[in-house]
Amino acid sequence: MGYSIDNGDTTQLHGDTSINAKVSASAGTHTVHVKAWSSTGAVCTAQVSIKVTTVTDDAVANTSIVPANAVSVSNLDSMGGWKATHDTGANGSASGSMAMVSSPSHSGSARRFISTYKNYGAMRYSIAFGDNRTSTNFMWDGWVYLTSSYTDIANLEMDLNQTMPNGQTVIFGIQCNSSAGKWDYTQNLGTAAHPKGSWTHSSAPCNLKNWGTSKWHHVQMQYSRTSTGHVTYKYVWLDGTKYTLNKTVFAARSMGWGSSFVINFQVDGKGSSGKSTIYLDNLTLYRW
């Protein structure tokens, strides 16, 4: 077998019945011409159109961080069963609605969140799925689209809850805190039986006003846990830029929440009143 690219006059030969090779090509659309010859001289050809894109080393973090045997659940944003509720742990009040839309979208359809707040209220949108208590490493990987209404958002929170074999729930919580200009992580300053949740600023910068509106942003977060419910927040990537958190904290709680994974996508309001529209697409959770 052999192949050539575009109008190249040289065929790269491989003495086998299949081809497994890494090929360099410029960004853009190309045509790969595949050719095969039988022992009797018969020839078969095929043309395959491909699109080559350029990425930075960390633009797709899961290519280097997530092992090949990791389990993934993709398109969580399009899964049925999402719930919307006002976070009673926040101040004020809030209401919200969700819908699947085709525009804007990154994959062809995205989940739209419209939230209205009063007195710093917060809307929590969540989806429960799966049942796994043994995985200890995770990557949250999704695409977020902001509109000009980001000015009414104080924090954009992205959480994962997992129940451990002992029945305690670990909360992996990371948020972009625009007011403080930092990526925050959550921890339990109390005990599992008597939890005291707290947000802590990391040294990594984050402010929604610096993200840019009317375009998709790639958000990836990696963390792990121990059997005692201690979480290590490792990294956050925003549009390929890597921020190191490297913080280990206690994060287990005896909540009796059941054994499903739960992802929370929470929008915290700013000021006495406000309204925001935000979109989420291609949300994938990797675990190993």
- 197, 188 contact by CB (below 8 A): yes
| Percentage of the chain lying above the pLDDT 70 cut | 84
pLDDT at 89: 87
How much is the average pLDDT of 19-46? Answer: 64
How much is the average pLDDT of 63-80? Answer: 91
Confidence label for 142 from pLDDT (cuts 50, 70 and 90): very high
Model-level pTM?
0.79
Confidence label for 18 from pLDDT (cuts 50, 70 and 90): low
Confidence label for 126 from pLDDT (cuts 50, 70 and 90): very high
pLDDT for 191-203, tens place per residue? 999 999 999 999 9
Q: What is the DSSP letter of 270?
A: -
Out of 42-46, 262-266, 277-281, least confident range: 42-46
CATH number of 62-287: 2.60.120.200
One-letter amino acid identity for 199?
W
Average pLDDT of the chain to the nearest whole number: 89
Pick from 177, 225, 167, 185: nearest CA to 205: 177
Q: For residue 139, how many other CB atoms are within 10 A of its CB?
A: 24
pLDDT for 39-48, tens place per residue? 676 676 777 6
Q: What Cα–Cα distance (Å) separates residue 255 from each residue in 142, 258, 284?
A: 27, 8, 25
Confidence check: pLDDT of 20 > 50: no
pLDDT at 257: 82
**What is the distance between the terminal CA atoms of the chain, rounded to a whole angstrom?**
37
| All structural domains of the chain with their residue ranges | 2-52, 62-287
pLDDT for 74-109, tens place per residue? 999 999 999 999 999 889 999 999 999 999 999 999
Confidence check: pLDDT of 63 > 80: no
